[in-house]
């Protein structure tokens, strides 16, 4: 399964501000959020927001259930504890209150399931990302041992847990589809994918990126390689999009032997999910697949000069992965017998740009 980093925003910040006396002097560079240490470390507001997301408070209010009693009854909750959560959300600017009824602020609108930002699906505690974020509470374990925190909290490694719980895997696929959909057009425009003839999207999830590439390049053909249940969802997407004649699926893993008939092998937001040893194994499989022909490997990651440090810690806590700058991707590629033939920019900001790193077997780039 693939994972996208750039569209995993941090939790909604508290609306409170530092006291006047605590503001930095004008000669000092203020913290970007101008938060004090207590506010930065506060868990109350993030968890209150996540509880509201999990129990669809914004959707209930939109549908006319505007009291704590009505929402609690619909969700099977206790009214008095929920009311205290709602009162706090009023304090931090997520909700409004008028007597015993609640409404949504502009910020609170983002908690609706149909909001264009799709933020709810990132912080719903019943989803793959919201559930995963709770393991950050065990970050002390990570810095003591170097091991991921997710198995400490849930008893299974992240990917095994998703495989064991189809509803989590589907949640993960939905979030990734939202993320990839925002980038697919710029990725499709950044390279002449049609020149490859046939591409394999490794860990391509439910096929959003490949569908975007095929739509933008009408002569291109391709297939998603992913675990069987996920690959089946990709097949459904291709049929619904009218791409069934040019798009296929291969049920399998990028740790296993790959088909060798591809012109391109795409790893979009895959390597950052894995520590170096596993990332190297993935690249070695790709190197084997392109060794006997003209195939190329494309690593699509954020490689900006300023690392997304919050996402880097998320990768560390979930499964021991990490965000890598271009020189680190280059180093791993060389260890796998690949070299950089080109780097293609696919939009984004200068400090958080999404790069398409084109790799070929050593000696073929010149």
Q: Are residues 201 and 340 located together in one domain of the fold?
A: yes
Q: Does a structural domain hold residue 156?
A: no
CATH number of the CATH domain containing 52: 1.10.10.10
Please report the pLDDT score of residue 222 as a whole number: 97
Residues 341, 213, single domain; the answer is yes
Answer yes or no: do 49 and 193 share one domain: no
CATH code of the domain containing 291: 3.40.50.150
Q: 317 and 182 share a domain? A: yes
For residue 279, tell me if it sits in a domain. Answer: yes
What's the structural domain count of the chain? 2
| Same-domain check for residues 180 and 310 | yes
Residue that finishes a domain, picked among 109, 125, 141? 125
* Residue 134 is assigned to a structural domain of this protein: no
Residue where one domain finishes, among candidates 125, 148, 168: 125
Residue 47 domain flag: yes
The whole-number mean pLDDT for each consecutive block of 10 residues of the chain, a chain of 366 residues, reads 35 32 35 74 96 98 98 98 98 96 97 93 95 97 96 95 91 83 87 97 93 96 93 92 95 95 95 94 97 93 74 93 92 97 76 80 80
Report in angstroms the alpha-carbon separations of 2 from 23, 253, 300, 337.
Answer: 42, 11, 11, 23
**Same domain for 285 and 210:** yes
Say how far apart CA 185 and CA 206 lie, in whole Å. 16
Q: What is the pLDDT of residue 351?
A: 41
pLDDT of 33: 56
Same domain, 188 and 274: yes
272 catalytic per annotation: yes
Does residue 342 sit in the same domain as residue 232?
A: yes
* Dist CA 335 CA 359 (whole Å): 12
- Residues 53-80 pLDDT 10s: 999 999 999 999 999 999 999 999 999 9
Does 289 fall in a domain? yes
Please tell me the predicted confidence (pLDDT) of residue 31. Answer: 45
Residue 120 shares a structural domain with residue 181: no
- Is the Cβ–Cβ distance between 298 and 359 less than 8 Å? yes
CA pair distance 121, 58, nearest whole angstrom = 13
Q: Which residues pair with 98 in a beta bridge?
A: 101
Does a structural domain hold residue 192?
yes
Query: Same structural domain for residues 120 and 186?
Result: no
pLDDT at 197: 96
Residue 326 forms part of a structural domain? yes
Same domain, 190 and 88: no
**What domain range is 92 assigned to?**
43-125
Q: Is residue 252 domain-shared with residue 103, that is, in the same domain?
A: no
Asked if residue 162 belongs to a domain, the reply is no
Structure tokens given for 303:
């490689």
The one catalytic residue among 272, 308, 344, 366: 272
The domain boundary, picked from 59, 91, 125, lies at: 125
Nearest CA-CA partner of 108 in 73, 72, 154, 61: 61
């Amino acid at each position: 399964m693939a994972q996208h980093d750039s569209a995993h925003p941090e939790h909604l910040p508290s609306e409170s501000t530092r006291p006047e006396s605590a503001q930095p002097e004008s000669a000092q560079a203020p913290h970007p959020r101008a938060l004090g240490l207590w506010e930065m470390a506060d868990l109350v507001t993030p968890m209150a927001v996540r509880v509201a997301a999990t129990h669809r408070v914004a959707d209930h209010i939109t549908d006319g259930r505007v009291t704590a009693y009505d929402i609690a009854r619909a969700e099977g909750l206790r009214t008095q504890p929920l009311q205290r959560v709602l009162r706090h959300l009023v304090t931090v600017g997520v909700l409004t209150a008028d007597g015993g009824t609640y409404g949504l602020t502009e910020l609170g609108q983002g908690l609706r399931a149909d909001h264009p930002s799709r933020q709810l699906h990132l912080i719903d505690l019943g989803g793959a990302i919201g559930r995963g974020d709770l393991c950050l509470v065990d970050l002390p374990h990570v810095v003591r041992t170097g091991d991921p925190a997710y198995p400490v909290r849930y008893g299974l490694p992240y990917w095994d847990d998703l495989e064991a719980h189809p509803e989590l895997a589907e949640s993960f696929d939905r979030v990734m589809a939202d993320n990839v959909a925002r980038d697919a057009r710029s990725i499709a425009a950044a390279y002449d994918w049609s020149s490859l003839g046939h591409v394999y999207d490794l860990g391509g999830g439910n096929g959003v990126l490949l569908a975007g590439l095929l739509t933008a390049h009408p002569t291109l053909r391709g297939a998603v390689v992913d675990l069987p249940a996920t690959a089946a969802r990709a097949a459904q997407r291709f049929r619904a999009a009218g791409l069934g004649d040019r798009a296929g699926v291969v049920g399998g893993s990028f740790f296993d032997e790959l088909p060798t008939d591809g012109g391109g092998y795409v790893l979009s937001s895959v390597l950052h999910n894995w520590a170096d040893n596993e990332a190297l194994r993935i690249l070695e499989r790709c190197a084997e697949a392109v060794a006997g022909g003209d195939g190329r490997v494309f690593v699509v990651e954020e490689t900006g000069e300023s690392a997304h440090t919050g996402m880097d810690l998320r990768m560390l806590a979930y499964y021991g992965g990490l965000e890598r700058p271009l020189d680190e991707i280059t180093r791993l590629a060389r260890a796998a017998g690949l070299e950089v033939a080109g780097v293609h920019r696919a939009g984004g900001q200068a400090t958080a740009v999404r790069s398409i790193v084109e790799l070929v077997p050593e000696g073929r780039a010149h």
